[in-house]
Chains A and B, each alone.
Chain A
Amino acid sequence: MEILEARLYAGQDTLDLEVNAACGADLMSDVMAFVKEKVVLLTGLVNPQAIRTADLMDIKVIVFVRGKSPTEDLVAMAEENGMVLLGTKYSMFLACGRLYEAGLRGGGVREID
């Protein structure tokens, strides 16, 4: 969270959750095509489908990039699903870069054939 200077929107209680990989995507089908293990999803997409996609893929942490903040509805949806919602002012590129620098690697995704 410090790495991304992130704001917390939902999931106070689940915050000590551990993740070992990250995936950045604005296209939800890509998330569904490539994610395998539990990851953090970084996305510029702020709508119910971002939450639903994460939910279907058992992703518990979503970071909204570029300073976008979720609406109350989305926060409520996330709370219901026991998810953590974060927001960062960094762009997708910088947010991913900072996580990478901090030791988080790709992983958790299937090989592209």
Chain B
Amino acid sequence: MKLRFEVSGEDFSLAGRASTELKRALGRLGIDPGAVRRAAVAMYEAEINMVIHAGGGVAEAEILPDRVVLVLADRGPGIPNLELAMREGWSTAADRFRELGFGAGMGLPNMKRNADELRVESSPGSGTTVTMTILLGKGAP
């Protein structure tokens, strides 16, 4: 099963909605709540990043019997220094997003903590694609 979400870069009030929908969908499939939460949190951080750093994009979730694969792709400015970006607390977020509760520099570290596998492909000018795998263990649907 595959879900696809358009993530708007214009309307911040919608940011996070795709992840909430993913959480509901995974919950309905009877997937273990721990795995559901990990997938939802990982996607949420990536979704927010797409909104605040890249002007929106597309999020896809492929739900397989043993894992969930999340792919979030944008056509934003890319990440020039990935090693720096992965550090806890490192952020280039604008102050207005900080006032909205984001930009703590914990997004990518949170994704790493929650996903079993995280791959970030990015080059300046051609956008960023974040791919995450969450293993469902034995409690597969």
Contact = CB atoms under 8 A, between A and B. Distances in A.
Instruction: Determine if chain A interacts with chain B.
Output: yes
Interface of A: 26-30, 32-33, 43, 45, 47-50, 52-53, 55-58
A52 B17 contact: yes
Contacts of A32: 41, 44-45, 106, 110
Nearest to B22: A56
A53 B16 contact: yes
Contact of B107 (A29, A49, A53): A29
Interface residues of B, number: 27
Interface stretch (B64-72, B96-104, B129-137): B96-104
Contacts of B17: 52
B49 to A, nearest CB: 10
Contacts of B16: 48-49, 52-53, 56
B119 interface: no
A73 to B, nearest CB: 8
Nearest to A58: B37
Contacts of B104: 27-30
19 contacts: A27-B101, A27-B102, A27-B103, A29-B45, A29-B106, A29-B107, A30-B104, A30-B106, A32-B41, A33-B109, A45-B100, A45-B101, A47-B100, A49-B100, A52-B16, A53-B44, A56-B19, A56-B44, A57-B37
